[in-house]
Amino acid sequence: MNKYELCVVISAKIEDDARAEVLEKVKDYVVRAGGQISDIDEWGKKKLAYEIQKMTEGYYYFIHFEAEPTAPALIESRIRIVDDVLRFLCVTQDEA
């Protein structure tokens, strides 16, 4: 099992309830891919470096989890089709 960090930027134009549903959906994708979530770091609303879909702000979430090496590709393929996710990135965490 490897340690991963998944960064998800969710649209700032949706309501709080809808944003919570999108985050739950992302967490469900991680669990269904065999991942074990250790913690979720919520950074809140931040200004984007550049405009994405005519938006200048987004909500940032960092999900730390452990999973098999095949899990990130499966998770990314499912997150890619979620409408309110502006950007995402899954990286391997160093053991340092």
Kindly report, residue by residue over 4-25, the tens digit of the pLDDT. Answer: 999 999 999 999 999 999 999 9
For residues 35 and 54, what is the distance between their CA atoms, to the nearest angstrom?
33
Q: Report pLDDT for 26.
A: 94
Q: Report pLDDT for 96.
A: 59
Domain boundaries defined on the chain:
2-63+75-86
The CATH number of 2-63+75-86 is which of 3.40.50.1820, 3.40.50.150, 3.40.50.80, 3.30.70.60? Answer: 3.30.70.60
> Residue 3: is its pLDDT beyond 70?
yes
Nearest to 67 by CA among 29, 23, 30: 30
Nearest to 5 by CA among 32, 33, 49, 39: 39
- Read off the tokens for 51: 């405009």
β strands within 1-96, DSSP E: 2-11, 36-52, 55-67, 85-92
Kindly report, residue by residue over 23-77, the tens digit of the pLDDT. Answer: 999 999 999 999 999 999 999 999 999 999 899 999 999 999 999 999 999 999 9
Instruction: Please tell me what DSSP assigns to residue 78.
Output: H
